Structure 1
Amino acid sequence: MDLPEDHATVLHRLRSSISADERFIGLAAGGSLLAGTVDWYSDLDLLVVVDSAHHAAVMNARQQLARAWGKLLVAFTGEHVGEPRLLICLYDDPILHVDLKFVTLDELKHRIEDPAVLWERGSAVSAVINRTQAETATLDAQWIEDRFWV
């Protein structure tokens, strides 16, 4: 995977931290990383797959986890875009926007794209992706309009 240096640095740090924590069973990428179009202006769109036994605790500790994974400048959840599982992060050193969506294996069944698996404990993440199908999100013009002017 050919990535800009800053993206590669942050991705390596996140993958190392997440894989060392037994509460997590996978890390996958979507967006421009999946499409192979990452450039210096791209963010990282990541799915952090959480063992369902630890999901509630991880969701409550997302900000602390993100802070432990790098020099976090700011982070906020994604309710404003209809995605409460999302933590939108801005890291420094290097400076990079990273979207972390925390999902269980069961939640991974319902997705808008087939993410690239970057790391997994065993093969459960790949198995879910291979046996289920992504469903393209339907465009809701009113939803976009409601958020555009804000």
Structure 2
Amino acid sequence: MSQPSLPTLPETHQQFLESLLKHLRDDDRFVGLVAGGSLLSGNVDEYSDLDLIPVVADEHHAAVMAQRIQLCGTWGKLLSGFTGEHVGEPRLVICLYDDPLLHIDFKFVTAADLADRIEDPVILWQRHGDLAESFSDTVAEHPMPDPQWIEDRFWVWIHYAATKLGRGELFEVVDFLGFVRGQVLGPLALVSAGHLPRGVRRLETNVPDFAAKLRGTVAAYDATSCGEAIEQCVHLYKELRDQLAPADLVRRDDAERASVAYLQQVRAAK
């Protein structure tokens, strides 16, 4: 799993990473640096952020966590940085650097923390050459969509969207459509094509045929457009459900009929 050389990166990303590695090598509190995200797939381009995981020696982790934002400020010209409690990850520091202007996410972990992971990161540097042992007895587990969880909720969501459409709260409808794309349609479409369910990330590249159909869920601020977009969400969800549903899926047929009929009633009234 360890790789002796850095992946090929845009020049700005490469310069930042090389500078960071020098800082980490000079700081005995750190025992390695691993990376996830687009570095794993080799899809880093000039628009990419970097997902970097500094590995801290056990005895220094608490102290490093206490000063993690200040520490990030010593690694480059930090414009802004904040911790990731809003996504349930206080070890995360989300940073925007200047010269070059880059978005970098750091997650400060110990070697033992690497056993619990959603992907197998690439080892960019390790002080003692034994960091790969942290992965040896465990398997990365990326959260996957739960078809029953989605089915139990989807038709309630459709009814909700129809009520907002009926009331004329079109901003609410537009927000709903983005939610369904990111939480249901995008992940299911990516899984259907053998990709990890990362919202709608790189959907246009990884599932281009589906992406073309998903355009129908992007509504203008207009009642007719919003109604059509909700209908397209229903159509695409049923298509994906039929493709991916396990044999034991309990289909909420009554909820589907009622919510779709209500949506059609609202649209007709508009």
**Structure 1 residue 132 displacement after superposition:** 2.1
What amino acid is aligned across from residue 129 of structure 2 in structure 1? S
Instruction: Using the aligned pairs only, state the percent identity.
Output: 55
Structure with higher Rg: it is: 2
Greater relative contact order (Cα < 8 A, sep 6+):
1
Correspondence list, 1:18-57, <5 A: 18-57=24-63
Q: 5+ residue gaps in structure 2?
A: 1-6, 154-177, 183-270
2:122 to 105, 116, 120: 116
| Number of equivalences | 145
**Matches of 1:38 and 1:102, distance apart in 2:** 22
Match of 2:83 in 1: 77
Match of 2:137 in 1: 131
Structure showing the higher strand proportion among its residues = 1
Per-residue CA distance 1:3-61 (angstroms, 9 max, x = gap): 10110011111111112110001100100011100000000001111001000000001
**Matches of 2:93 and 2:86, distance apart in 1:** 11
1:91 to 86, 89, 97: 97
**Structure 1 residue 127 displacement after superposition:** 1.4
Match of 1:62 in 2: 68
**Matches of 1:107 and 1:70, distance apart in 2:** 26
Structure showing the higher helix proportion among its residues = 2
What amino acid is aligned across from residue 126 of structure 1 in structure 2? A
**Structure 1 residue 77 displacement after superposition:** 0.4
**Structure 1 residue 66 displacement after superposition:** 0.5
**Matches of 1:115 and 1:96, distance apart in 2:** 20
Question: Normalising by the residue count of structure 1, what TM-score does the alignment of the two structures yield?
Answer: 0.90
**Structure 1 residue 63 displacement after superposition:** 1.1
Give SS of 2:113's match.
helix
Q: 5+ residue gaps in structure 1?
A: none
**Matches of 1:114 and 1:89, distance apart in 2:** 23
**Structure 1 residue 82 displacement after superposition:** 1.3
79 and 100 in structure 1: CA distance in 2 versus 1, 3 angstrom threshold: same
Q: Extract structure 1 runs of 4+ deviating beyond 3 A.
A: 138-142
What amino acid is aligned across from residue 77 of structure 1 in structure 2? T
Give RMSD over aligned pairs.
1.9
Match of 1:100 in 2: 106
Per-residue CA distance 1:51-100 (angstroms, 9 max, x = gap): 01000000001111101111000000011111111000001000100000
**Structure 1 residue 139 displacement after superposition:** 4.6
Question: Normalising by the residue count of structure 2, what TM-score does the alignment of the two structures yield?
Answer: 0.51
Give SS of 2:131's match.
helix
16 and 139 in structure 1: CA distance in 2 versus 1, 3 angstrom threshold: farther
What amino acid is aligned across from residue 78 of structure 2 in structure 1? L
1:4 aligned to 2:10? Answer: yes
**Structure 1 residue 126 displacement after superposition:** 1.3
